[in-house]
Structure 1
Amino acid sequence: MAYKQHRRSRYLTQRQHLAPALRSIGFAALTAAAFAVPGPSDAQNYRFSSVTIEGNQRIESSTILTYAGIARGETVSAGDLNEAYQRILATGLFETVEIVPQGSRLVIQVTEFPTINRIAFEGNRRLKNEDLAGFIESQSRQVFSPTTAERDAATITEAYAQNGRVSARVTPKVIRRSDNRVDLVFEIFEGRKIEVQRIGFVGNRAYSDRRLRRVIQSKQAGLLRALVESDTFVEDRIQFDRQVLTDFYNSRGYVDFRVTGTNAELARERDGYFVTFNIQEGQQFNFGEITTVSEIPEADAEDYHAVLKIRQGKTYSPTLVEDSIARMERLAIKKGVDFLRVEPRITRNDRDLTLDVEFALVRGERIFVERIDIEGNTTTLDRVIRRQFDMAEGDPFNPRQIREAAERIRALNYFSDTDVNAREGSRPDQVVVDVNVEEKTTGSLTFGASYSTNSGMGVSVGFSERNFLGRGQRLSAAIAASENNLNYNLSFAEPAFLGRDVEFGLDFALTETDSDFSEFDTVDGIFRPSLTFPISENGRLSLYYQAGYQDISNYYGRSGILRTETNMGEQWTSGIGYNYTYDTRRSGLDPNSGVLLSFGQRYSGLGGDREYLETTARIVAQTMILNEEVTLRATVEGGALEFFNGQNSRAVERYASQVMRGFEPNGMGPVEGLEHLGGDYYAVAKFEAEFPLGLPDEYGISGGAFYDVGGIWGVDTTNAILPVQSKSFKPRHVVGLSLFWESPFGPLRFNWSKALKKEPGDIDQSFDLTVRTDF
C-alpha cells in the first residue's frame, strides 16, 4: 500500500501500456529495414572496416556483435544485414534495434529492455499476492519482456477462471523508473463468480436427472450458494463430470454409454450458466460365461479361477473385471510366478445382452523396477510414500501395482497433487518409477459451541493432525465442556507399526458428568492401546488392552440399588479384548449395496476390582432401489454384560445410552421407583428408508422414515428398596420421520419420533437433532 501511495502522483504520466511498447518495436523494425535493406535499384554488398555498438548499458558489445554474426572486413549483403537484425531482436534483450551502414563503418544502435524493479498486483482480493507470484514467469531483477508479461496475464486470468471467475481481466502495465528500470503492475478486475443455474441431461432413461446430478461434481446454485464452491462454473470440472458419468454407467453394465456433447450456455444477464449433458445410455449388459485359461505351464487355471468373485448373470462392470485381474495377479505373486499378466478377452452377445469374459494367463515382459524416485515431499517422509507400494527396487515390474499404489497415495489425503509415472531406466529391461507430490495442510484446530436439552450450552476445542511430523501418524486431542459434562480425549495412531500393515493405536478418554444420571455424579476414564490388522480382504481384527476407572458420588436419591453402587466408591478395571469387522465396501463388488459386520468381546479381570465379560455385535445392510433413488438400511445390534465371582454391574457399566430413537438417553429400561438404572443387556433392530423430497439437489435435503424395535433389560435387584420395573425384555416400538441435510456445518439429521409401545417409567422423545453418520 505504501508503494502505491508513493507513486500515485506520477502514475498518470509515467504509466505505460505494453501495447505502445510493442508498437515501438514494430517502428524500430521498419526503421532498421529502411536503412538495412536497400531497394532493387541500389542493391549492393557491404564491407565494414569497423563495427560500432551504441546504446548498450548492461550487455557487452562483443556479445551483441556475436549475436549479429558480422565480422570486420567481411563482405555482407543487405539480406545479411536484415538477418543480423532479426538475430539480435530474437534474443529478447532489446526493445529496439537499428542497423545503420555508414560507409565503411557499421553502427548497431540498441535500446535494452529495462530490468524489472518490482512486481505488484492491484485489485486482487480472492487470490493472494504470493499465490499470483507463483503463477507468473516474470521475476524481479530480470529483464522485462512484453511477451512474457502478456503470457503471465493470461496465466492469471486462467487461474481466476479455474476459481469460477471467467469474466476476470488482467492488464499488465509498466511504470518507468530511473536507470532503465520499470515496475511491472498487473491490474486485475476479478469480476463475479458465474454460477451454474441449471444442470440438465438429455437422453437419459434408466436414471433420472436428480440421480445423475448426485453423481457429478458440479452442482446447481441454491440458497446456500455463498457457502458452496461446487456451484461455480469451472470448465475443467465439467470435463471431469463427463468421465464421472461414464464411470457411473459403465459400472452398472452400460458398456456403450457415452457423452455425445456438453452445452454450457451463458445466461442473457451473464450471471449464470445452463449446462446440458447429451448422453446415450445404450443397453445394460450382464456377465455371460466366465472362464479362465492359462498359457503358462506353472499357472494352473483352476487355482486362479477359484479366486474370482464374479458370476454369470451379474450386472457387468469393468471394475469387477479389474478387481478379478488384481486378485489373480496377487495370487501369482504369492505363488512365486513372476511376470504373469492377465488379459481379459471379452465376447459380446447382443442377442441376450451378455458379455463372456475369458481371463487369459499370459507371460508378460521381463521388466524390473530399477528404483523409485520421490520428489516434492517437503514434510512427509519418503518411507510413508514408499510403503504404499507393494514392490521394491529389483522386483518384477507390474503396471497394475503402480496404479494401485498411486491410488493409495492419493487416498492418504496428504497431498494436493500426486503424479506417479514409470519411465525407462538405465537399461531397456528396467524402469524408474517417478513419484511427484505436492504437500497440503493436514492439521486443523477447531472451536465449537453446542446446545442440548440434556446438557445445556457447551463449548469445545479440538486439534487434529493426520500426518504428524510427516510420519503418516494421526494425533488428535479435544476438550468439550457443558453445564453438566466435561470430556477429555486424546488419540494417537501409527498406521504402519514396525513397518508392517498393522496399526498401533493409543486412546485416552475421561468423562465427568452429573447429567446422565440426574441423582449423582460420575467419573469414567479409560486408557487403551490397540493393534489392528487385516485377516482377509474385507476383514479386520483389533486386539487391545483397556484399563479403566469409574466412580459414582454425591447420590441423594431413593434407589437402594444405586445407593449400594455409590457406596462402593472408586473402582478400577483391567482387561483385554478384541473386535472383528467385516466390511464388503472394501472390495466394492456391488456399488448399490454393502454389509458391515462387527463383533467384539472384552474381558475385565486381569487385576483391578472388577471381573466381567462384555460382548457386543452389530450388523448393518444397505441397498439402493428404484434406480438408486431410494436407500434401504437395516441395523441389528446388541450387547451383554456377564459378571463373575458374585459381582453385579454398576450404573456406569450398564447400557443406558440412547440405543434407539424415540427415547431420551437413559430414558428406557429397568426403573427403581422413578430412577432409571440401565441394563445388563440391550438389543435393537432399526429399519429405515431414505428418499428424495423433490427439492433441488443443491439444497442437500432428503427425507427418511424409520421403524425401531428393541429394549434394555436385566439388573440385579438384591439391594432394591422400591419396586423395580422392566427387569425382563419388553420391546419398545417407535416410528418416525427424518430430514437429512448436508449443511455447511456438516451432515445433520432431524428426527421426529412417535413411541407406539413403551413401558412404565420410559421417557420418550418426540424430536432430536444429531450429526448424521453413514455405516
Structure 2
Amino acid sequence: MTNGQTGARLPRLARIFRGTASLAAISVAFSMAFTALPEQAVAQTFSFNNVSIEGNQRIEPGTILSYAGIARGAPVSAAELNDAYQRIVASGLFETVEILPQGNTLVIRVVEYPTVNRIAFEGNRRIKDEDLAAIVRSQPRRVYSPSMAEQDAQSIADAYTQQGRISARVTPKLIRRSENRVDLVYEIFEGGVTEIERIGFVGNQAYSDGRLRRVLETKQAGLLRAIIRSDTYIEDRIAFDRQLLQDFYASRGYVDFRITGVNSELAQERDAYFVTFNIEEGQQFNFGNISVESDLAEVNVPLFRDALTVKPGKVYSPSVVENQIARLERLAVEEGLQFVRIEPRVTRNERNLTLDVSFQLTRGPRIFVERIDIEGNTTTLDRVIRRQFDTAEGDPFNPRAIRQSAERIRALGYFSDAQVDAREGSTPQQVIVDVNVTEQPTGSIGFGGSYSTTSGIGASISFGETNFLGRGQALSLGVNTASSSSSYNFNFVEPYFLGRDLAFGLGASYRETDNEYAEFDTRRGQFRPSFSFPISENGRLSLRYTLGYSDIRNTEDGDAGQVIRAEEEDGARFDSSLGYTFSYDTRRTGLNPNAGVLLEFGQDLGGVGGDTTFIKTNVRAIAQTRVWNEEITLRASFEGGALNYSSGSSRVTDRYLLSDSTLRGFEYGGIGPREYSAADDVDDSLGGDYYAVARFEAEFPLGLPEEYGISGGLFYDMGSVWGLEDSTVNSTTNDVLYQDFSLRHVVGFSILWDSALGPLRLDFSKALKKEKRDKEQNFSFTISTDF
C-alpha cells in the first residue's frame, strides 16, 4: 500500500496527536488504533515533502522543527510522529499542539503559551508584595509556565506555613490581555495562625514541665497571642528547641540525656497543635578526678595542672571542659609550644556517678591558616569581623579557636546569619577559613511620650546605632523634654581602639530642671571620656576623666530652706576628676550555670583642676543562684558610697539621693538628711555624703500558665543615707534631721511580667522601720533588668 492509498486513514490517526494528553494515554490510543488496521499497516512508514507550521507568533518555525526532529523526505513511522509530538509538548512553550499528516504535507498547529504581562498578589496582608515577589520564579515578560506557577503557589504557601498558617491556600489565576498576554494573579487565602495550645513533656523527673518550657524558644499560646508570635507552630523552631533541651541537660551533668521523639498533634479544628517531647533524662554526673598528662618532653605537666580551675565534685558540663581546654591552649601558646593539641579523655564511674577527665597534651598536625576570606558584608568593614579571630594568616590552625571566633561574630548582633567554615588550602598543610555573613539592621530611632508626677508631660526622641558606619562602633543620641525638665545625651564607644581589646568611650550629657515639685532649679552637665580593658579572665578595669558642671538656681521663687539657699550662693561650679572602676564578673564564665557573682569597686578623685578636691567611692556586690530544681531564684546585693571633700563642700547636686530602684518603699530622696521647718514651710531633701543598701529577694512561679510570663517575688530591703559636713549644717537655723546612720527596713512582694514590651516589674512595699519625715512610696512600676 502506498502513502497515497493510506492518506484516507491518516487524518483519523492524526487526531491522536492533539492537545496535551499524557504519554500513557497516547500509547494506549495508538495500540487501539493499530489493532483496527490491517496487519500490514503496523510497520508502515511514510514521508513528507512539506512541513507546514501554523499558529506560532513568537517562536520561529525552525525552532519548532528542531523540537520535532523530522526531516523532509525521510521515512517516518507512527511511533516517531508520537515522539515528535512529545518533544514539542515537553518544550513548555505551547499551550496546545496538533500534528496532522495531510498527504505529503505534515501540518503542525500550535498555540503558544502567553507572555506574562505582570504578576500580582491578592488577599495577602501578613506578607508584603515585595517579599512574595522575591519568592516566586515566574517573571513579567517571560513565557507563562503552568508548572512554574504551581511551584510558585506552593512556595508562597510554604512561606505562610513558616508563620504558622498551615491552612493557607494559594491559587494562580490568569487574566487574558491583548496580543497573547496575561496577568498572572496569585489569589491567597492566608488562613489563621495555628498556635501551640500545649507543650508537654514525658519522662522528666528532675525538672518540672514549667522549667523546661522556659528553656524552649517555642511558647504556648497566652494572653498576648495577637502580639507574641513564638506560640505559632514552626517545624524549624521545634528542631532548634530539641537542641536547646539537649544543651540544657548536658550543662547540668545529664550526659545520657536524649530525646526519643517529638509528637506534634493537630487539633481536629486545625487551629492548634499539641506538642509533646518524649525524653530520657538519665543520671546526673559530677566531675571526678581531674588530671593532665603528656608524653611531650617540652611540656611542664605541673604547670598545666595548676592552670585548671575545675575541681572534683562540681556538676559535669561540656562547656566547662571546653573552657579548660581553651585555658590550656592559651598557656601552651604563652609557653611557646606550637601544634600542641589538648584532647579530653572521659572515664565513667557508674558506681559513684562521676566522670574522670584527663586532659591529654599531644602533638597535633602541622597545619597553618593560609588566609581568612570574608563574604556577604556590604556595610560592615572586614576588619570588624577579622578582629574577632585570635588566629591570623600564617598561624597554626586551631579548630576550637575558629569555633570560638565564629561565636564571637554571631554575638556581635550585626548579622542575622554567620557561617564560618574551614577548607583545604593550596596545600594539604594549609587551610582557608571562609566567613559568610548576612547583615541585618543595627540602627534604631525612637519617639515617645511620657507623663510623671514629678516631670509632667514629656516627649523624647532617640537614635541608636550599634555598628556605626560599619566600623563596629556604638553611637547614641537622645533628647527628652518635659514641662519641668529637659535633658540631652550623647554616647560613643569604639570597642577596639587602635586595633586592640581596648574600648574607648565618650559621653556627654546636659540636664536642666524647672521643678514644679521642688523649691529650686538646677543645671547639670557632664563630659566623660573613658577607656576599658580586660585584666583577667573575669576582671575588667575602666579608667575615666570627668568634667562636671552644676548650678543651683531660683531658690527665691520657692520656699527653699537655708541650706539650699547657701549652696546657691556658691554659684556655678566645675568639678574635674580622674576615676577608675574594677569589675569582676563570673555570670557567664562561672562553673555553675545557675549562679554568678558581680563585684565592682570604683573611685573618682577630684582636684585635677576644677573648683573642689574630693574622693568619691562606690562599691557594689551581687550574687544569684537558683534552688529547688531551678524553680526559685535567690538574689542578694549590696551597694554603698562615700563622698569626702578636702577642699570645697558637697552640695545637693553632688550628694547621694536614693531612688526606688536602689531602696524600694521610698520616693526619690525620700530618706536621709533633710532640712525641716513647719513654721517656714520648709521640707528639703538634702541627700547624704554616705549611703549603704542591702537587698534580698526571691523570685518564684505563681502557678499561672507559663505562657503568661508572670511570676512573683518577695523582697526585704534595708538601707540608710547619712552624713553632712558641719559647714552645711551650721548655715541654717532650721532643723536638719537624720544626719546620723539609721537603717530603714522594707518588705514587700513583686509581680514580674515578661511582656512583649520588655520585663516589667510591679513592687508593693511596706516600711517596717522608718523615720517620721521620710517619704514613703508603697507602689512602684519599673522595667526590670538582670544584674
2:701 is matched with 692
**TM-score of the aligned structures, taking structure 1 as reference length:** 0.91
Shift in Å, 1:596: 0.7
CA pair 427-75 structure 1, distance change in 2 beyond 3 A: farther
Shift in Å, 1:690: 0.7
CA contact 2:579–2:604 (8 Å) conserved in 1: yes
CA contact 2:20–2:89 (8 Å) conserved in 1: no
Per-residue CA deviations over 1:420-455 (Å, capped at 9, x if unaligned) read: 222333433333333222222222222223333333
Shift in Å, 1:601: 1.0
CA pair 516-621 structure 1, distance change in 2 beyond 3 A: farther
- Of residues 572, 575, 578 in structure 2, which corresponds to 1:570? 572
Shift in Å, 1:348: 1.5
2:174 is matched with 174
1:202 is matched with 202
Amino acid aligned to 2:750: S
CA pair 731-96 structure 1, distance change in 2 beyond 3 A: same
1:648 is matched with 649
State how far apart, in whole Å, the 2-side matches of 1:38 and 1:24 are.
18
CA contact 2:588–2:596 (8 Å) conserved in 1: no
Amino acid aligned to 1:356: D
**TM-score of the aligned structures, taking structure 2 as reference length:** 0.90
2:340 is matched with 340
State how far apart, in whole Å, the 2-side matches of 1:73 and 1:682 are.
109
- Of residues 750, 757, 770 in structure 2, which corresponds to 1:745? 757
Per-residue CA deviations over 1:672-728 (Å, capped at 9, x if unaligned) read: 323221111111111111111111111111111111122111111322322322222
Q: How well do the aligned residues superpose, as a CA RMSD in angstroms?
A: 2.6
Q: 1:309-324, aligned counterparts within 5 Å?
A: 309-324=309-324
1:3 is matched with none
State how far apart, in whole Å, the 2-side matches of 1:308 and 1:516 are.
60
State how far apart, in whole Å, the 2-side matches of 1:101 and 1:346 are.
81
CA pair 243-709 structure 1, distance change in 2 beyond 3 A: same
Instruction: Point out the more displaced range, 698-707 or 718-727.
Output: 718-727
Amino acid aligned to 1:654: R
Instruction: Point out the more displaced range, 513-522 or 384-393.
Output: 513-522
SS in 2 for 1:608: coil
Instruction: Point out the more displaced range, 559-568 or 53-62.
Output: 53-62
Shift in Å, 1:649: 0.7
1:123 is matched with 123
1:608 is matched with 610
CA contact 2:116–2:182 (8 Å) conserved in 1: yes
CA contact 2:524–2:550 (8 Å) conserved in 1: yes
Amino acid aligned to 1:680: D
CA contact 1:516–1:665 (8 Å) conserved in 2: no
- Of residues 617, 625, 628 in structure 2, which corresponds to 1:626? 628
2:479 is matched with 479
Amino acid aligned to 1:622: Q
1:287 is matched with 287
Q: 1:760-771, aligned counterparts within 5 Å?
A: 760-771=772-783
CA contact 1:538–1:587 (8 Å) conserved in 2: yes
SS in 2 for 1:226: coil
Q: Kindly indicate whether residue 585 of structure 2 is the aligned counterpart of residue 589 of structure 1.
A: no
State how far apart, in whole Å, the 2-side matches of 1:257 and 1:222 are.
29
Per-residue CA deviations over 1:19-60 (Å, capped at 9, x if unaligned) read: xxxx95236985699689995841355666666655444344
CA pair 414-134 structure 1, distance change in 2 beyond 3 A: same
State how far apart, in whole Å, the 1-side matches of 2:173 and 2:436 are.
36
2:664 is matched with 661
CA contact 2:758–2:783 (8 Å) conserved in 1: yes
1:636 is matched with 638
Amino acid aligned to 2:128: K
Q: Kindly indicate whether residue 520 of structure 2 is the aligned counterpart of residue 501 of structure 1.
A: no
2:785 is matched with 773
State how far apart, in whole Å, the 2-side matches of 1:269 and 1:206 are.
35
SS in 1 for 2:608: strand
SS in 1 for 2:404: helix
CA pair 369-179 structure 1, distance change in 2 beyond 3 A: farther
2:582 is matched with 580
SS in 1 for 2:607: strand
2:456 is matched with 456
Q: 1:174-193, aligned counterparts within 5 Å?
A: 174-193=174-193
CA pair 558-528 structure 1, distance change in 2 beyond 3 A: closer
CA contact 1:122–1:186 (8 Å) conserved in 2: yes
- Of residues 21, 26, 29 in structure 2, which corresponds to 1:26? 21
CA contact 1:45–1:75 (8 Å) conserved in 2: yes
Instruction: Point out the more displaced range, 601-610 or 30-39.
Output: 30-39
CA pair 302-144 structure 1, distance change in 2 beyond 3 A: farther
State how far apart, in whole Å, the 2-side matches of 1:85 and 1:323 are.
68
1:675 is matched with 684
Instruction: Point out the more displaced range, 395-404 or 114-123.
Output: 395-404
- Of residues 707, 717, 725 in structure 2, which corresponds to 1:708? 717
Shift in Å, 1:89: 4.0
1:262 is matched with 262
2:133 is matched with 133
CA pair 177-392 structure 1, distance change in 2 beyond 3 A: farther
Instruction: Point out the more displaced range, 46-55 or 583-592.
Output: 46-55
CA contact 1:38–1:78 (8 Å) conserved in 2: no
1:435 is matched with 435
Amino acid aligned to 1:706: F
State how far apart, in whole Å, the 1-side matches of 2:138 and 2:301 are.
61
Per-residue CA deviations over 1:581-603 (Å, capped at 9, x if unaligned) read: 11112325321000111111111
CA pair 667-75 structure 1, distance change in 2 beyond 3 A: same
SS in 1 for 2:226: helix
Per-residue CA deviations over 1:478-516 (Å, capped at 9, x if unaligned) read: 122233222211111122222222221111111112449
CA contact 1:35–1:99 (8 Å) conserved in 2: no
Q: Kindly indicate whether residue 375 of structure 2 is the aligned counterpart of residue 363 of structure 1.
A: no
CA contact 2:472–2:494 (8 Å) conserved in 1: yes
| Runs of 5+ unmatched residues, structure 1 | 1-22
Per-residue CA deviations over 1:122-176 (Å, capped at 9, x if unaligned) read: 1000100000111122222222222221111111111111111111111112223
SS in 2 for 1:176: strand
CA contact 1:246–1:257 (8 Å) conserved in 2: yes
Q: Kindly indicate whether residue 224 of structure 2 is the aligned counterpart of residue 221 of structure 1.
A: no
CA pair 722-123 structure 1, distance change in 2 beyond 3 A: same
State how far apart, in whole Å, the 1-side matches of 2:565 and 2:634 are.
45
Per-residue CA deviations over 1:38-83 (Å, capped at 9, x if unaligned) read: 9584135566666665544434444444445555666666555555
State how far apart, in whole Å, the 2-side matches of 1:351 and 1:91 are.
71
Shift in Å, 1:311: 1.5
1:350 is matched with 350
Amino acid aligned to 1:489: N
Per-residue CA deviations over 1:326-381 (Å, capped at 9, x if unaligned) read: 22233333444333332222112211111112222233333333333333222222
Q: Kindly indicate whether residue 52 of structure 2 is the aligned counterpart of residue 43 of structure 1.
A: no
Instruction: Point out the more displaced range, 758-767 or 702-711.
Output: 758-767
CA contact 2:763–2:781 (8 Å) conserved in 1: yes
Per-residue CA deviations over 1:184-238 (Å, capped at 9, x if unaligned) read: 2111000011111221111111111111111111111122211211112222222
State how far apart, in whole Å, the 1-side matches of 2:590 and 2:454 are.
40
CA contact 1:37–1:78 (8 Å) conserved in 2: no
Instruction: Point out the more displaced range, 413-422 or 617-626.
Output: 413-422
Amino acid aligned to 2:702: L
Shift in Å, 1:534: 1.4
Amino acid aligned to 1:363: R
Aligned residues: 752
State how far apart, in whole Å, the 1-side matches of 2:386 and 2:32 are.
64
State how far apart, in whole Å, the 1-side matches of 2:398 and 2:21 are.
57
Q: 1:151-166, aligned counterparts within 5 Å?
A: 151-166=151-166
Instruction: Point out the more displaced range, 392-401 or 233-242.
Output: 392-401
CA contact 1:449–1:457 (8 Å) conserved in 2: yes
State how far apart, in whole Å, the 1-side matches of 2:123 and 2:271 are.
21
CA pair 91-332 structure 1, distance change in 2 beyond 3 A: farther
Question: Which structure has the larger Rg over C-alpha atoms?
Answer: 2
State how far apart, in whole Å, the 2-side matches of 1:478 and 1:533 are.
26
State how far apart, in whole Å, the 1-side matches of 2:452 and 2:167 are.
46
State how far apart, in whole Å, the 1-side matches of 2:360 and 2:144 are.
61
